[in-house]
Amino acid sequence: MGKEILVLVAKELKSEWRLKYALNGIILYVVSAVFVTYLSVGAQQGNLNPPTWNALYWVIMLFSALSAVAKSFMGEPKGLHYYYYMTVAPGALILAKMAYNALLTVLLALLGYTVFGLILGNPVQDQGLFLLNLFLGASGLAFALTMVSAIAAKAGSNATLMAILSFPVVLPILLMCIRVSKHAVDGLDFSVSVDKLLTLMALNAIVAATAYILFPYLWRS
């Protein structure tokens, strides 16, 4: 099981590296989204108020994660799915996909944070908490979106379906990390955010566990 997951993650990384256009495309997506936001709010460095900064950042992350993860099942050819079906356990496949997508989303979130901070100013006072929350939030988004992408792929790879199925499901995670990230921006004491971070972790665990249990049923069809 562990070995299967490692092989699958390595395969995802390799194929992503070979098909650089997908990776570059999503990086460009993040950067342009940040830039569009910057131009449309008409803000100068640092005069966007922190709550708005925080909300805009997470909305952009949601959409970037959505388009990055959507292709994890939907973009793959049907033949590859048959090959997976014959060769690997469904549990290993979904865990590998979730791990890979979490890695990708965390990297995108870090990139988004850097660009956001450069262009719109960086009001975050507690960097450690912000990054920890970013890691948890981005991986949570990735877990939920991976499963939804698998469902949408079975329903004819419909992009609208992907969006409407995923938004309500990721909202609890998103709301939680917007709240914690607001604390990090305001520089509140770590003890204020502990229970929220724990809730966020619990949410991630619930989503990942449900996906792991349900995926074999989905894969069978």
Partner 1 sequence: MRNSWWKILAVGLLLYTIVAGMLMDAPRLPILNETIRALHFHVTMWFGMILLLVVAVVNSVRYLRTQHLAYDDAASEYTNAALLFGVLGIATGMLWAKFTWGDYWSGDPKQNASAIGILMYFAYMVLRNALPDLQQRARIGAIYNIFAFAAFIPLIFVLPRLTDSLHPGNGGNPGFNAYDLDSNLRVVFYPAIIGWTLLGAWMASVRIRMRRVERAVEEKLINQIS
- Give the binding site for partner 1 (CB under 8 A): 144, 147-148, 151, 154-156, 158, 161, 164-165, 167-169, 171-172, 175-176, 179, 195-196, 199, 202-203, 206-207, 210-211, 214, 217-218, 220-221
Cβ distance to partner 1 smaller for residue 33 or 102: 102
Give me the least distance between CB of 136 and partner 1, in Å please: 15
Cβ distance to partner 1 smaller for residue 24 or 158: 158
Distances (CA, A) of 4 to 8, 63, 85, 135, 206: 6, 30, 13, 25, 23
Give me the least distance between CB of 170 and partner 1, in Å please: 8
Cβ distance to partner 1 smaller for residue 80 or 192: 192
Q: What is the total residue count of the chain?
A: 221
* Both structure tokens of 66: 């959505």
Distances (CA, A) of 29 to 123, 158, 187: 23, 20, 30
Question: To 5 degrees, how large is the angle CA 86–CA 73–CA 219?
Answer: 40
Helices (H) then strands (E): counts for the chain: 8, 0
Cβ distance to partner 1 smaller for residue 1 or 213: 213
Give me the least distance between CB of 92 and partner 1, in Å please: 18
Q: Chain-centre distance of CA 196, in angstroms?
A: 19
Cβ distance to partner 1 smaller for residue 25 or 51: 51
Give me the least distance between CB of 173 and partner 1, in Å please: 8
Amino acid identity, position 218:
L
**Is the CA virtual torsion 136, 8, 219, 159 positive or negative?**
positive
Give me the least distance between CB of 23 and partner 1, in Å please: 28
